[in-house]
Chains A and B, each alone.
Chain A
Amino acid sequence: MTDLSVDLGFLRLKNPVLTASGTFGYGVEFTPFVDLNKLGGFVVKGLYFHPRLGNPPPRLVETASGLINAIGLQGIGVKRFSEEILPRLKNYETALIVNVCGEDDEEYAAVVEYLDKQDGIAAYELNISCPNTKRDGRCPALSPETTYAVVDLVKKTSVRPIITKLSPNVTDIVEIALAAQEGGSDGIALANTYLAMAVDVEKRSPKLANVFGGLSGPAIKPLTLRMVFQVAQKVQIPIIGIGGIVSGNDALEYMIAGASAIEVGTANFVDPETTTKIIQDLEIHCRKAGIQSIEQIIGTLKV
């Protein structure tokens, strides 16, 4: 019997398979397809303090093995989430992680303060890729200083562990990851989507109303995998790998490169049962390879 559980230090997961924020709704949407109890955990859609309208459509465009989205973090806000969704999620025996957004550092802190009073949440994933209204739209994830500032602020008051989700749209991902660690982050989620666009040749216009969006899906897997490997060499806190994972093999690549757990994103749309299948794949792989605990493969890349 293979032990698929992984210990993040601040949180023990029954297996390393989580879902990526924004691709799994509030969890409840997937109950016809997935037994949430089987997951290592799931990360719900990003929450601002107040409900948020999001961007005008078209919000999606498909590209080669990828998806560019500009949803604009439309959402119901912490209050409705706590009242309408949380009661439906509490009884699942899996780690519920809430993705936290903010237009400025104080909003992140306010969301966490509100959620701290609610039961049933295992950890927060700090989405520091949100455009920051007080910094000319630049998100905190783009520099070590702003990353440190928001992590430090939220960590000071949060009663729960913080996983900081970084943006890949930076020159040196390692210095940002180190800044998050310095600010007190308990873990690193690596990474968000890649800033991208697509053009309608007939109309000579962008295919997304927002012009730019974030690229996800299998197209980005090699890019983020590289970052996970680089960051894993330098940080001490656990890394959750996210980017283009569709199979057990993809998940194993990330774990060998240094991720302690992974999140499945866009693949949830392609096949809503992907997470369950990856867990099965991992079990089969470990059994065949004679691995007793999946933790044995984390960071074992032979260079």
Chain B
Amino acid sequence: MHKEPKAPIIHKKTWGDYCLLGFQAERLAAEAQPGQFIMARPSDSLHPLLRRPISIHSVLDDSIEIYFQQTGIGTTLLGQKEKGDFLDIIGPLGKGFHLESSLQGKSVAIIGGGRGIAPLYFLAHRMRNLGAFPRIYYGGRTINDIPLRQKFEEEDFEILLSTDDGSFGFKGLVTALFQKSLQEFSPFRIFTCGPEAMMAKIAQIAHDKDISSEFSLEAIMGCGFGACWGCVRKLRKENEEEWSKICEEGPVFQGDQIIWEKEEL
């Protein structure tokens, strides 16, 4: 974990609300694992005050990319930064996806909803390096919510796309696309990041089919490194339920550890 108060932004791309920022951060890049995140300070002023937790999207030599959606004041300010500006960041933080050598030669499903695709690009690359066969499922509300599709395609990843309104790919939820595909596909493990209801549905499918699964959870965080106890979630541990810190124990958790909120799908 390092604090890098002046990481220079070296490239930027935007698609509507979605923003991809690349910045130089040698020490962070050397340590980062898929599923880990950084805490980025939106501005030097005292409003907004807190740093924002953002997934690491990719690592290229000595630089890191983050991909996020501008949803509030903090992420909007981060999205207004330009090439040549600096980012004040802390990272890499948290525990990422499990990448063990036993995944070699195995098919795995990587499922991302909207901005939830952020950590999964990094994961897909590491899976490929590991000798696993990742198949990516990428869904959004409309074609505008899946802007990274070409990037995966250009890099020859197997990718299935969905939009809720049918403006691109399969019409419907990415969870439905995934469920349908299980008739001809049996992944060894499922990796998911996206909206809560989507992840809950995938968890249910994984449970029913007895497939191991990992989820990257999102939370409002105060510090990002375990000091404030603000980002907790109820987890199942040895048959007991307790509030666990997402920033420190997660943000990636096993499917059977997570207690999902009862939401209508």
Contacts and interface: CB of A to CB of B under 8 A. Distances in A.
A276 B95 CA distance: 28
Nearest to A64: B47
B232 A54 contact: yes
B227 interface: yes
A7 interface: no
Interface string A230-264: 00000000000000001000000000000000000
Q: How large is the interface on B (under 10, 10 to 19, 20 to 34, 35 or more residues)?
A: 20 to 34
Given A53-B242, A273-B3, A71 B49 contact: no
A25 B222 CA distance: 12
A273 B233 CA distance: 27
B50 A71 contact: no
A69 B47 contact: no
B227 A25 contact: yes
A56 B225 CA distance: 19
A65 B46 CA distance: 5
B46 A246 contact: yes
B90 A23 contact: no
Interface string A24-49: 11000110110000000000010000
B246 to A, nearest CB: 9
B30 interface: no
A33 B3 contact: yes
A303 B29 CA distance: 54
Given A25-B226, A269-B227, A272-B3, A66 B49 contact: yes
Nearest to B222: A269
A160 interface: no
Given A53-B242, A57-B219, A65 B47 contact: yes
Nearest to B220: A60
From B50, B74, B227, residue with most partner A Cβ within 10 Å: B227
A270 B49 contact: yes
Contact of B227 (A30, A56, A273): A30
A218 B49 CA distance: 9
B227 A71 contact: no
B225 A60 contact: no
A226 to B, nearest CB: 19
B231 to A, nearest CB: 7
Contacts of A246: 46
A65 B49 contact: yes
A74 B46 CA distance: 27
Contacts of A62: 48-50, 74, 220
A165 B222 CA distance: 23
Contacts of A271: 41, 88
A54 B226 CA distance: 15
From A59, A64, A266, residue with most partner B Cβ within 10 Å: A59
B219 A22 contact: no
A67 B49 contact: yes
Interface in B205-232: 219-223, 225-232
A58 interface: yes
Nearest to A221: B46
Contacts of A5: none
Q: Which 7 A-B pairs have the closest CB atoms?
A: A25-B227, A60-B230, A29-B227, A269-B223, A65-B46, A65-B47, A218-B46
Given A67-B49, A266-B49, 17 more contacts: A22-B228, A23-B228, A25-B227, A32-B2, A53-B243, A54-B243, A57-B219, A57-B230, A57-B233, A57-B243, A60-B221, A62-B48, A69-B228, A218-B49, A269-B227, A270-B50, A272-B223
Interface of A: 22-25, 29-30, 32-33, 45, 53-54, 56-62, 64-67, 69, 71, 74, 217-218, 246, 266, 268-273
8 contacts: A23-B228, A32-B2, A57-B233, A67-B222, A71-B228, A266-B49, A269-B50, A270-B41
